[in-house]
């Protein structure tokens, strides 16, 4: 009996230790920054401007502005939780082919940006990027498309609730970090342990500009159900685009569907913007 009790206590103590580690080290389970910016848009034959700008709390950020001839608008790009901007060249090229200027930057702690990443900081980074576009580049808010992929979809939704952009695209979005974490780690009380929220769904409820929700049914990291849930609660106007392929390559393996869907969304968004102005 004592042996059994001892075993159970050991198991319980081990479980508590795992919970403690998950609580203390959760940033390392969410953010995977890479400091090495190995390539630039020149690697895919695109001209670009190397950009430095600063956040409200004094953190220096680094990004690229990739212009295109006769742009229909400008895309503000919020990337996912791993790597840095040099790993998004394929996406940049797709948006360039869609006649969009692209402004992409690294969050604090990523690439050549200063500081270290956390949720509150990423929101400050988003606001600084918007201010750079609208104030330094003199880009009209009504010509900006906010784009976020994976973790970036939460940052994009945060900004989209605050700013009157032309439209917003959320690709591979999740409901919130606690909701996603509970599915990925069902043996842990993630909702009780989580200090990182990124409540995409809560932000999305209040976004009134045109929305495009993109998700692959084969996404192995963020379940398709999260995209469906976000689309369901999003207010009109909204569109859903289903892809095939994995979390990190769906946009490329489905690129013909992807480009056509975004092209249609952009056309409808510009028409919607004109109707609102008129």
- The catalytic residue positions are 150, 219, 247
Report the distance separating Cα 154 and Cα 177, nearest Å: 9
**Residue 220: closest CA among 252, 244, 196:** 244
What does the DSSP assignment read for 212-267?
EEEEETT-SSS-HHHHHHHHHHSPSSEEEEEE-S-TTTHHHHTHHHHHHHHHHHHH
Tell me how crowded residue 204 is: count the other CB atoms within 10 A of its CB.
Answer: 28
Report the distance separating Cα 2 and Cα 136, nearest Å: 71
Give one word for 115, left, alpha or beta, with left for phi > 0 and alpha for psi -120 to 50.
Answer: left
Report the distance separating Cα 241 and Cα 225, nearest Å: 13
């Amino acid at each position: 009996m004592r042996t059994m009790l001892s075993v159970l206590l050991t198991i319980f103590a081990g479980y508590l230790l795992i919970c403690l580690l998950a609580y203390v080290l959760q940033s390392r389970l969410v953010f995977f920054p890479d400091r090495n910016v190995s390539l630039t848009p020149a690697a895919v034959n695109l001209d670009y401007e190397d950009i430095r700008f600063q956040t409200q709390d004094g953190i220096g950020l680094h990004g690229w502005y990739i212009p295109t001839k006769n742009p229909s608008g400008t895309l503000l790009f919020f990337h996912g939780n791993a790597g840095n901007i040099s790993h998004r060249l394929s996406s940049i090229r797709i948006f360039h082919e869609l006649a969009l200027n692209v402004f992409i930057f690294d969050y604090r702690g990523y690439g050549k940006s200063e500081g270290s990443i956390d949720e509150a900081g990423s929101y400050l980074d988003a606001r600084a990027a918007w201010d750079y576009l609208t104030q330094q580049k003199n880009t009209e808010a009504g010509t900006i498309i906010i784009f976020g992929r994976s973790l970036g979809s939460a940052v994009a939704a945060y900004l989209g609730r605050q700013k009157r952009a032309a439209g917003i695209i959320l690709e591979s979005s999740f409901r919130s970090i606690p909701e996603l974490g509970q599915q990925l780690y069902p043996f842990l009380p993630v909702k009780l342990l989580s200090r990182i929220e990124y409540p995409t769904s809560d932000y999305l409820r209040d976004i009134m500009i045109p929305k495009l929700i993109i998700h692959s049914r084969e996404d192995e990291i963020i379940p398709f159900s999260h995209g469906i849930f976000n689309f369901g609660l999003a207010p009109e106007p909204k569109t859903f685009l289903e892809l095939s392929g994995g979390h990190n390559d769906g946009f490329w393996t489905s690129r013909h569907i992807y480009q056509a869907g975004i092209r249609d969304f952009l056309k409808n968004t510009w028409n919607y913007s004109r109707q609102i102005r008129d």
